[in-house]
Amino acid sequence: INLKYLKKLGSFAFLLSGLYSLLFYKKTSYRMYINDTYMREKCLMIVFGICKYSGGGLRITKKPDPIDGLLDITIVKNFSILDLFFNLPKLYNGNIVHHKKVVTYKAKEITITNNYKSIIEADGEIVGYDSLKVTILQEAIQFVINKR
């Protein structure tokens, strides 16, 4: 599939890639530390951020707050194609965080280690493989809000 063509599809591209992943991707057992707590999870994806929306308008973080100094982390565990099909609206309205195969955390940092079969994506772009450490820099970005 041509990546430039997919980007033109906008949020629909995220849905297509998600369906493709469910059909052909073997879920990976990830080793990670959230803050200093070690865990190992077999999952479809790990999403983290500080804002309400993820790629393509997905809402898969629970009560994100861009000024609380914490990452909002969502782990989508062993989802099947049927799980996705029956919960598709919940991916866009934010209710997916209440699914029994989804867990959420608030943390200052997440470290994912030695995941040799993993692709690391940031804002839709592949940024690496294997391991990743993400931390919050408190008050590093100033927001300007236009109140009308």
pLDDT, tens digit (0-9, with 9 covering 90-100), for 79-99: 877 888 899 899 889 999 999
DSSP 127: E
At residue 48, does pLDDT exceed 90?
no
Spatial contact of 27 and 115, defined as CB atoms under 8 Å apart: no
Spatial contact of 107 and 32, defined as CB atoms under 8 Å apart: no
Spatial contact of 118 and 40, defined as CB atoms under 8 Å apart: no
Q: Which value, to the nearest 10 degrees, does the dihedral of the CA atoms of residues 88, 92, 97, 98 take?
A: -60
For the segment 17-26, the average pLDDT, to the nearest whole number, is 68
pTM comes to 0.78
Mean pLDDT score of the chain: 82
Spatial contact of 62 and 49, defined as CB atoms under 8 Å apart: no
Measure the CA–CA gap between 106 and 119, rounded to whole angstroms.
23
